[in-house]
Amino acid sequence: MTDKLSNRINNLPVSATLAMAAKARKLKENGVDIIGLSLGEPDFNTPDFIKKAAIQAIDDNYNSYTPVDGYGELKKSICNKFKRDNGLDYESNQVVVSTGAKQSIANAIQVLINPGDDVLLVAPYWVSYSAIVTLAEGNPIEIRSDISSDFKITPLQLENAITRRTKLVIINSPNNPSGSVYTEKEYLGLAKVLEKYPEIYILSDEIYEHINYGVPHFSFAKIPSMFDRTITVNGVAKAFAMTGWRIGYLGAPYWIAKACTKMQGQITSGANCIAQRATIAALEAPVSEIQYMIDEFKERRKLIIDLLNEIEGIKLNEPKGAFYVFPDVSSFFGKTIKGKKINNASEFAIFLLEEAHVATVTGEAFGSPNNIRISYAASKEKIKKAISRIKKAIKD
Ligand code: GLU
C-alpha cells in the first residue's frame, strides 16, 4: 500500500537514531540483554526543582492552550538565558517555543527554504537535518570533515561549497555526533566568509551548549554581522535531562520568528503547557544546578575513550562536548568476523547489535560513512560492559 502514500513520505528516510533505539527496545522486550548506546538521552532523572514546578503547574490548573509561540513568562526567561549564557539580546517577539528543538529546526527550515534552495550541512551532522531539508524540497549539500580536522571545516571549505542557490548553512556546536566544539576564533573565520554573502542565513543548533568539557561555548549570533541572519536553536532536553518533556526554542530575526509562529499555528499550536511552566524553572536556575550531570558525563567520556583506545582498529578523536564518541571503524571494512562480512559502517553497527548486543548508530546516517556513533549518556557499568562485549565480538 505504500504506493498510496505521498512521494514526500515514501522518499523520507526513517530517523536512524530512533530506528536503532526502537530495534534495541524490541530486542530487549524479547529478552535479549541489549545495552542501548544508540540514543542521545541522558540517563539522569529530571532535577527535582523542575519536577516540582511541573506539579505546581498542574495544581495551579495550567491546562489550556498556550500562546502558539509560548507563554510570555517563558519567553522572558529564554531572553534572560540568551543574555546570561550567550551574550545575545533577543526580544520576546524574536523567540518561539516549540515541541522540542527538532520542531524549532523544522519550523525554521520550512519558513526559509524554497524548492531547489541549497542548504549546507557540515558532515558529520545530526541525522534529521537532511531529512527536514528534503521535506522542504531543498537540497542538502554536505561539506565533509573527518577525524583529521577534528570534524571541523575551514573557511575555505565553506566558501567552496557556496553557490548562487545557497540559502542556509546549518552549524552545530557542540556537535552531534562528533562532539567537536568550535572556538570563537574558528566561528569568526566562518563568519568572515559569510559576510561576503548577505543572502545566506545560518541556523546554529546549540542544544548541547551546556554539555561542554572545557572549550568555552560561543554562539554564532554573538558575531555582530551575523546576528540579523542567524537562527539560534536550543532547548532543555539534553542539559536538564528533559528529553521526553519536548521543549525547544529559537531566537531569530523578528520576521523569521513570526513566520515560525504562523507555521506552528497551523501544525501543532503551542507546546505542552505543563512542560513550558517547568522549563521556566529550568532556565531561571543557575547553570551550577546541573553541573553534577556534566561532571559525570566528563568521567564517562574519559572511561569510554580509554576503553575504546584499547581496541585495535578503532580510531578516535577527543570529543569536547555532547555525549557521543564517533570512532572511525573503516579498518574493519572488507573483513569477515565471526563468519560475517562487514562492508560498511551500517553492517558494522548491525554486527555489534547482533554479536555484542550493543546498540550504536551507523555514521552513514550522519553523512560520515567511515564511523559509528556511540552514546555515553549511560552508566559507567553499562559503558564498561558494552565496550568489553564489543572488544570480544571483534576479536573472537
Ligand atoms: N537527538 C538525539 C540523538 O541524536 C535524540 C534522537 C533524535 O531525535 O534523533 O540521538
Domain carrying residue 133:
50-286
Supply the DSSP symbol for 364: G
Q: Pocket of ligand 1, candidates 126, 236, 360, 375: which has the most ligand atoms within 8 Å of its Cβ, to mutate?
A: 126
Percent of the chain with pLDDT over 70: 100
- Ligand 1 contacts CB of residue 15 (under 6 A): yes
Identify the residue whose C-alpha is closest to ligand 1 atom 10.
40
Residue 219 grid cell: 554562539
Q: Is the pLDDT of residue 8 over 80?
A: yes
Give the position, in ligand 1's atom list, of the atom nearest the Cα of 176: 4
User: Would you place residue 324 in the very low, low, confident or very high pLDDT band (cuts 50, 70, 90)?
Assistant: very high
Helix, strand, or coil (residue 99): coil
Examine the domain organization and report whether 260 and 309 are in the same domain.
no
Asked which of 9-23, 114-128, 139-153, 374-388 is least confident by mean pLDDT, the reply is 9-23
Examine the domain organization and report whether 133 and 273 are in the same domain.
yes
The CATH number of the domain holding residue 77 is 3.40.640.10
pLDDT digits (tens, 9 = 90+) for 116-127: 999 999 999 999
pLDDT of residue 2: 83
Average pLDDT, the chain: 96
pLDDT of residue 284: 98
Say how many Å lie between the CA of residue 120 and the centre of ligand 1: 20
Give the position, in ligand 1's atom list, of the atom nearest the Cα of 100: 8
Identify the residue whose C-alpha is closest to ligand 1 atom 4.
40
pLDDT of residue 268: 97
Counts for the chain of helices (H) and strands (E), in that order: 13, 14
Identify the residue whose C-alpha is closest to ligand 1 atom 1.
40
Q: Crossing angle, helix 101-112 and helix 127-135, to 10 degrees?
A: 40
Examine the domain organization and report whether 186 and 134 are in the same domain.
yes
The CATH number of the domain holding residue 41 is 3.90.1150.10
State the Cα–Cα distance between residues 275 and 279, nearest whole angstrom: 6
Examine the domain organization and report whether 276 and 309 are in the same domain.
no
pLDDT of residue 273: 98
Point out the domain boundary residue: 242, 264, 286. 286
User: Would you place residue 396 in the very low, low, confident or very high pLDDT band (cuts 50, 70, 90)?
Assistant: low
pLDDT of residue 310: 95
Question: In Å, how far from its chain's centre is CA 140?
Answer: 17
pLDDT digits (tens, 9 = 90+) for 157-166: 999 999 999 9
Examine the domain organization and report whether 263 and 361 are in the same domain.
no
Examine the domain organization and report whether 93 and 17 are in the same domain.
no
Examine the domain organization and report whether 313 and 232 are in the same domain.
no
pLDDT digits (tens, 9 = 90+) for 39-67: 889 999 999 999 999 999 999 999 999 99
Pair 182, 152: CB distance under 8 Å: yes
pLDDT of residue 240: 97
Residue ranges in the chain assigned as alpha helix (H): 7-10, 16-29, 48-59, 72-86, 101-112, 127-135, 155-161, 184-194, 254-267, 273-284, 291-309, 345-351, 380-395
- Ligand 1 contacts CB of residue 124 (under 6 A): no
Q: Pocket of ligand 1, candidates 14, 18, 99, 372: which has the most ligand atoms within 8 Å of its Cβ, to mutate?
A: 18
Pair 227, 251: CB distance under 8 Å: no
- Ligand 1 contacts CB of residue 17 (under 6 A): yes
Helix, strand, or coil (residue 358): strand
pLDDT of residue 114: 98
Q: How many domains does the chain have?
A: 2
- Ligand 1 contacts CB of residue 131 (under 6 A): no
Residue 151 grid cell: 570534524
Identify the residue whose C-alpha is closest to ligand 1 atom 2.
40
State the Cα–Cα distance between residues 331 and 320, nearest whole angstrom: 24
Sign of the dihedral defined by the CA atoms of residues 119, 236, 207, 382, in that order? negative
Examine the domain organization and report whether 242 and 254 are in the same domain.
yes
Q: Pocket of ligand 1, candidates 14, 17, 103, 245: which has the most ligand atoms within 8 Å of its Cβ, to mutate?
A: 17
Supply the DSSP symbol for 245: G
User: Would you place residue 395 in the very low, low, confident or very high pLDDT band (cuts 50, 70, 90)?
Assistant: confident
What's the whole-model pTM score? 0.96
pLDDT digits (tens, 9 = 90+) for 249-300: 999 999 999 999 999 999 999 999 999 999 999 999 999 999 999 999 999 9
pLDDT of residue 19: 86
Point out the domain boundary residue: 286, 319, 336. 286
State the Cα–Cα distance between residues 383 and 378, nearest whole angstrom: 7
Give the position, in ligand 1's atom list, of the atom nearest the Cα of 243: 5
Identify the residue whose C-alpha is closest to ligand 1 atom 9.
17
Examine the domain organization and report whether 34 and 160 are in the same domain.
no
Alpha-carbon Rg for the chain, nearest whole angstrom, is 21
Point out the domain boundary residue: 286, 316, 334. 286
Examine the domain organization and report whether 132 and 229 are in the same domain.
yes
Say how many Å lie between the CA of residue 102 and the centre of ligand 1: 9
Q: What is the mean pLDDT of residues 192-203?
A: 98
Amino acid occupying residue 198: P
- Ligand 1 contacts CB of residue 39 (under 6 A): yes
Q: Is the pLDDT of residue 172 over 70?
A: yes
Examine the domain organization and report whether 14 and 90 are in the same domain.
no
Q: What is the mean pLDDT of residues 234-253?
A: 98
pLDDT of residue 245: 98
State the Cα–Cα distance between residues 385 and 48, nearest whole angstrom: 30
State the Cα–Cα distance between residues 245 and 222, nearest whole angstrom: 28
Percent of the chain with pLDDT over 90: 93
Examine the domain organization and report whether 282 and 354 are in the same domain.
no
